[in-house]
Structure 1
């Protein structure tokens, strides 16, 4: 079964094309399942759209849900369309997000850490002038948030768990055992992680997470799933077959898909 659970569209302000275009692309690529998972609004912010180039406005959220549900029905005979969302994880703002997601018929929710200490994980400047000890602290703060997101019980999938390497490839080699600790917590909380192929579009030039992290994930019993993190329709399902082969080489036998917040496992 070919699927892609991580796609965006133009509501977030930094992706191209509408939801229908991503579904049509998925059909062209031979997918059986396409998940729509645009960036959640900043629900705890007082204004409607705090960051127009990063996430949809709060006032757009209901229309987003309605459109995905309508397209789910429209395309039912051609492809299974899933309603998801990529939710930011802010530990001090959980109640606002939980309230917003209440009674929404999601098929799954992706939880992603996009900022540490209020700075984007993709900000190259955060690493300037840091010594080795300070770099370790930055990496450990990131993985502490990932651990917290796993424990929150809010998420079915954790998004791009080493994406801090995106524009700082040296991130991978910063020495700390917190990656192992985080993977143990993720396994204990029974949350899946995604293999996210959008890392190829960044300076790191590879998927999230690295093969080393995936090998550890298998060791600790973490379940995996797939998401292209497409921001243009043409990237839907990008490198799916390559990921399948890599996971088989590492030793995985199955991976996860979702429906109505219930996980089911699919043979690779």
Structure 2
């Protein structure tokens, strides 16, 4: 059973291809399940499209849902198309997002922290001139947001939980107990983290999260799932077999995908 729960398409403004293109790529790659999970609009903004090139407009959201549901019906029997969304997490606006998501029949929602301290986690300059102590503080701020997202009850999956290392590989070497504390919380909340293979496209190389985090996640009973985070159709299912093999080496015996907001267990 091969699945990929993290895919984007042209609506977000920084991916290419239609939803159909990603579904067809999933079939070509031998997937039985594909989740469509484009970036959520900035629902708390007064603007219809607050961040062109980052997320879809609020006015596009219902059309997005309707298109996925239409394609789900069209492809039934060939591939199981799931309705998802990759949602930003802003603690101060959580209720706004929660109220919108209640209106639609999502199979799952991925919660991802993209902004920490008001700055993109991928901003290469955010580390310039920081002392060791300040670097620890930045990492702890990031993991505090991830921990809050786990406790929010909004999400089934947490996305790329060490993506702050994307353009700053030394991020992984910053020591703090915040990582273990966050993983413990995720395990207690009964939600999954994704192995996200898009890290290979960034300066850090490899996948999110690093093996050391996956080992600690296993210790805390955290479920895992797979997401390519494809922004081009050719990356759908990227490194699926390699990830499955690595998870078995670490000690995992199963992983999950979500359908109708319930985990579907798949043996490794």
State TM-score, norm by structure 2.
Answer: 0.99
Q: Residue in 1 aligned with 2:224?
A: 224
Counterpart CA distance in 1 for 2:221 and 2:102 is 30
Counterpart CA distance in 2 for 1:10 and 1:117 is 28
Shift of 1:101: 0.6
Deviations 1:119-159 (A, max 9, x none): 00000110000010000000000000000000000000000
Counterpart CA distance in 1 for 2:14 and 2:244 is 28
Q: Superposition pairs for residues 37-56 of structure 1, below 5 Å?
A: 37-56=37-56
Q: Residue in 2 aligned with 1:127?
A: 127
Counterpart CA distance in 2 for 1:96 and 1:125 is 31
2:188 paired with 1:191:
no
The count of aligned residue pairs is 268
Counterpart CA distance in 1 for 2:96 and 2:51 is 17
State TM-score, norm by structure 1.
Answer: 0.99
Counterpart CA distance in 2 for 1:258 and 1:125 is 36
2:165 paired with 1:165:
yes
SS in 2 for 1:82: strand
Counterpart CA distance in 1 for 2:205 and 2:138 is 21
SS in 2 for 1:26: helix
Shift of 1:264: 1.8
Shift of 1:181: 0.4
Q: Residue in 1 aligned with 2:13?
A: 13
Deviates more, 1:150-159 or 1:95-104: 95-104
Counterpart CA distance in 2 for 1:264 and 1:30 is 18
Deviations 1:46-67 (A, max 9, x none): 0000001100000000000000
Counterpart CA distance in 1 for 2:260 and 2:150 is 19
Structure 1 segments of 4+ aligned residues over 6 angstroms from their partners: none
Deviations 1:33-89 (A, max 9, x none): 000000000000000000011000000000000000000000002100000000000
Shift of 1:103: 2.5
| Gaps in structure 2 of 5+ consecutive residues | none
